[in-house]
């Protein structure tokens, strides 16, 4: 048999480890990756546990294609309950950690309980140990990985937290290499368990169900990539030039989401980043190598080096505070990776503070004496360090914009730009409505990856061309984007690669050849698979008490007209929030309160799994 269907369960409270087989039937229904993560978390976790408490579980997953000859398919994922949103969390990382998890013979690691002292987990094909991490605690993510590789040798790969996770920053990341599973605060969950790292030592070997068939399909995938224009473009630029597109469209959120265009944005276009580029890097077995490293050689940030920033982080450290300093963005990105915090939430929290200061809601007595003025990037860098270390005012921002606004009071809530408590990414919802509705209905909160609307940003005419200013009419597009992203993350494939010609047909064939689950090659099964996953994630949130009122965009997006510098979209707001939800729920087969109906759960084979989901209407 290929695809080990083996999981490692580690209980840090009892200091026990056990190797288990993934329950029969679960793989056939969910295949792997995100599907298994959602189902296992739903089944194992009681409702209403404290996300930073002992009862919360954190599940690490590699997909069935990880470590194989299939390209762009070795991403890893974490599923848990989010300390930022209080709901379902799924966060994805790159580099080669997923491949190493498979090399060690595991598809998943479930971590339960809490260690009394700092600890790390060391896995090998022979077994697993829980080891003392006293000397690693307090170290940044670079030093932590260096020390663990020194201890366990070159054949070791690590996923770890930095000081941000240790100090329970609610949007702390988990870092492997210089790639991060950064959203939803998954790093804080590790920190709450006193778990510094997972280290895996293994040689390169992974089995597939049908080696000959797999080899042919992997060769076909390589051909499809080589012939894809989008692949070539991505290899050349990664996402370092996406701002050229979004700023021209008027969907580059500026001044804490007040405007859709940044003045003098050409100064931070991809061509400018390229001048500081020092090399390419990427994830395990991906010929795109889309990571672009940058080094600053002059000025106040001389010496700053980052394996990034990519588009989201370029945005997070420029437009929200009206900065056009590429150098500051590189330094801020490096700091976030070192400290282990999410760049998107960090950038939002800083911009939120700048706006509160501008409006006189806070002053120097709140900010440790620091003046916050739009355009001042040096203060942004200072604040990021304070957030990651939870120092002074930084500790308030480390709670995320929603909790920080409650703490500050004085009307601050109006300037928290989030969905379900997670800060919004780099696409302005008033000029890209389906992207916005995806944020609102995403089960993990404000995430672009949950159902990226490439139709609006890049004009992809699939499954049909759409007008980016139309609203309820495009509910089917939002659903299709969300379900298709979920299907790909069964692999776990890279979201970028879905446009390179191999998805879904070649992908489905590779899944079947890897796992022996023949249904995976069937396009109808694949479509249902994505829908099934989104429904389990929704059921998790319903059980936690989420409903229609949580499927919402921030008040600024619903009430305050967008301003651009001439791009289409001037004066736009999101008008049809309720009409959209009615249509979206109807098409999904959910109740008017956003819960899957018994009929929908039966259709998707989820009745047994979700039997303890309360009716929510």
Say if residues 474 and 434 touch (Cβ distance below 8 Å).
yes
Q: Is 224 in the site for ligand SF4 (CB under 6 A)?
A: no
Q: Does 296 engage in binding with ligand SF4 (CB under 6 A)?
A: no
Among 61, 197, 276, 494, binds ligand SF4 (CB under 6 A): 494
Q: Which is nearer to ligand SF4, 282 or 388 (CB)?
A: 282
* Assigned token pair, 513: 């050849």
User: Contact between 496 and ligand SF4 (CB under 6 A)?
Assistant: yes
DSSP 496: G
Task: Give the whole-angstrom CA distance, residue 16 versus residue 581.
Answer: 45
- Please tell me the distance from the alpha carbon of residue 148 to that of residue 144, in angstroms, as a whole number: 6
288 binds ligand SF4 (CB under 6 A): yes
Binding span for ligand SF4 by CB under 6 A among 167-175, 246-254, 494-502, 587-595 = 494-502
Q: By CB under 6 A, tell whether 72 contacts ligand SF4.
A: yes
Window 245 to 264, contacts with ligand SF4 (CB under 6 A) = none
Burial of 49 per CB tally in 10 Å (0-12, 13-18, 19+): middle
> Quick check: 91 binds ligand SF4 (CB under 6 A)?
no
Pick one of 31, 128, 161, 290: the residue that binds ligand SF4 (CB under 6 A): 290
Residues 6+ apart with CB under 8 A from 365: none
**C-beta of residue 58 within 8 angstroms of C-beta of residue 109:** no
Q: With respect to ligand SF4, which residue has the nearer C-beta, 94 or 250?
A: 94
When asked if residue 94 is in the footprint of ligand SF4 (CB under 6 A), the reply is yes
**Residue 286 interacts with ligand SF4 (CB under 6 A)?**
yes
How many chain residues touch ligand SF4 (CB under 6 A)? 12
* Cβ distance to ligand SF4 smaller for residue 282 or 425: 282
Comparing CA positions, the residue from 82, 161, 84 lying closest to residue 118 is 161
Task: Say whether residue 283 binds ligand SF4 (CB under 6 A).
Answer: yes
- Does 289 participate in binding ligand SF4 (rule CB under 6 A)? yes
Q: Is 269 in the site for ligand SF4 (CB under 6 A)?
A: no
Tokens 């054949």 correspond to 155
**Binding status of residue 67 toward ligand SF4 by CB under 6 A:** no
**Residue 524: how many other CB atoms lie within 10 Å:** 8
Contacting range for ligand SF4; rule: CB under 6 A; set: 29-37, 202-210, 261-269, 280-288: 280-288
Instruction: Find the part of the chain contacting ligand SF4 (CB under 6 A) among 76-84, 157-165, 289-297, 349-357.
Output: 289-297
Beta carbons of 315 and 448 less than 8 angstroms apart? no
In total, the chain counts a number of residues equal to: 617
Q: CA-based Rg of the chain, rounded to a whole angstrom?
A: 22
Residue closer to ligand SF4 (CB basis): 61 or 402: 61
Task: Report which of 472, 501, 482 is spatially closest to residue 438, judged by C-alpha positions.
Answer: 482
Choose, by CB under 6 A, the member of 163, 282, 445, 491 that binds ligand SF4: 282
Structure tokens at 356: 């509160």
133 closest CA partner among 198, 175, 188, 196: 196
Cβ 73 to ligand SF4, closest distance in Å?
8
Cα diameter, the chain: 68
Of 182 and 497, the one with the shorter C-beta distance to ligand SF4 is 497
Six-digit token string for 555? 């008040």
Decide: is 77 part of the binding site for ligand SF4 (CB under 6 A). Answer: no
- What's the token pair of residue 382? 């200072």
Verify binding: residue 509, ligand SF4, rule CB under 6 A.
Answer: no
Residues within the interface to ligand SF4 (CB under 6 A): 72, 94, 282-283, 286, 288-291, 494, 496-497
């Amino acid at each position: 048999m290929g695809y080990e269907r083996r999981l490692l369960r580690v209980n840090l409270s009892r200091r026990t480890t056990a190797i288990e087989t993934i329950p029969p039937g679960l793989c056939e229904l969910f295949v792997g990756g995100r599907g298994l993560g959602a189902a296992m978390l739903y089944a194992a976790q009681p409702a209403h546990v404290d996300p930073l408490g002992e009862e919360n579980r954190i599940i690490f997953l590699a997909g069935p294609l990880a470590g194989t000859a299939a390209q762009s398919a070795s991403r890893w994922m974490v599923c848990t309950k989010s300390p930022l949103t209080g709901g379902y969390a799924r966060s994805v990382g790159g580099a080669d950690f997923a491949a190493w998890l498979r090399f060690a013979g595991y598809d998943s690691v479930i971590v339960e309980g809490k260690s009394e002292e700092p600890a790390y987990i060391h896995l090998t094909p022979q077994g697993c140990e829980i080891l003392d991490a006293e000397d690693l605690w307090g170290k940044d993510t670079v030093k932590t990985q260096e020390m663990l590789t020194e201890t366990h040798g070159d054949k070791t790969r690590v996923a770890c937290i930095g000081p941000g996770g240790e100090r329970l920053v609610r949007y702390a990341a988990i870092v492997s290499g210089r790639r991060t599973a950064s959203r939803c605060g998954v790093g804080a969950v590790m920190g709450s368990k006193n778990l510094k790292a997972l280290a895996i030592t293994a040689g390169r070997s992974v089995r597939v169900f049908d080696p000959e068939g797999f080899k042919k399909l992997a060769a076909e995938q390589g051909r499809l990539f080589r012939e894809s224009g989008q692949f070539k473009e991505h290899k050349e630029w990664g996402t370092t030039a996406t701002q050229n597109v979004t700023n021209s469209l008027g969907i580059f959120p500026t001044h804490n989401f007040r405007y859709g265009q940044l003045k003098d944005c050409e100064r931070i276009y991809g061509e400018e980043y390229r001048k500081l580029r020092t090399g390419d890097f990427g994830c395990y077995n991906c010929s795109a190598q889309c990571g672009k490293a940058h080094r600053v050689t002059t000025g106040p940030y001389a010496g700053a080096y980052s394996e990034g920033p990519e588009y989201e982080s370029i945005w997070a450290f420029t437009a929200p505070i009206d900065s056009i300093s590429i150098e500051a963005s590189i330094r801020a990105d490096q700091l976030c990776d070192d400290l282990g915090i999410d760049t998107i939430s960090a950038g939002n929290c800083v911009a939120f503070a700048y706006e509160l200061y501008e409006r006189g809601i806070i002053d120097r007595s709140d900010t440790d004496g620091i003046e916050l003025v739009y355009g001042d990037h040096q203060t942004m860098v200072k604040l990021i360090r304070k957030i990651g270390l939870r120092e002074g005012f930084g500790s308030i921002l480390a709670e995320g914009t929603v909790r920080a606004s409650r703490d500050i009071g004085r009307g601050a809530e109006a300037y928290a730009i989030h969905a379900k408590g997670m800060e919004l990414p780099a696409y302005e919802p008033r000029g890209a409505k389906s992207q916005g509705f995806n944020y609102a209905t995403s089960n993990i909160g404000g995430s672009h990856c949950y159902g990226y609307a490439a139709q609006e940003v890049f004009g992809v005419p699939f499954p049909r061309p759409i007008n980016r200013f139309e609203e309820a009419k495009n509910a089917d597009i939002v659903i299709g984007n969300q379900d298709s992203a979920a299907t790909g993350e069964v692999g776990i494939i890279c979201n970028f690669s879905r446009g390179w010609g191999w998805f879904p047909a070649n992908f489905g064939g590779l899944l079947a050849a890897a796992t022996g689950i023949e249904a995976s090659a069937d396009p109808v099964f694949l479509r249902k698979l994505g829908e099934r996953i989104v429904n389990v994630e929704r059921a998790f949130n319903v059980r936690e008490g989420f409903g229609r009122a949580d499927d919402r965009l921030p008040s600024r997006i619903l009430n305050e007209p967008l301003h651009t510098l001439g791009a289409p979209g001037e004066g736009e707001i999101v008008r049809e929030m309720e009409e959209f939800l009615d249509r979206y729920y109807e098409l999904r087969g959910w109740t008017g309160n956003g819960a899957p109906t018994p009929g929908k759960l039966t259709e998707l084979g989820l009745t047994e799994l979700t039997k303890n989901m309360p009716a929510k209407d």
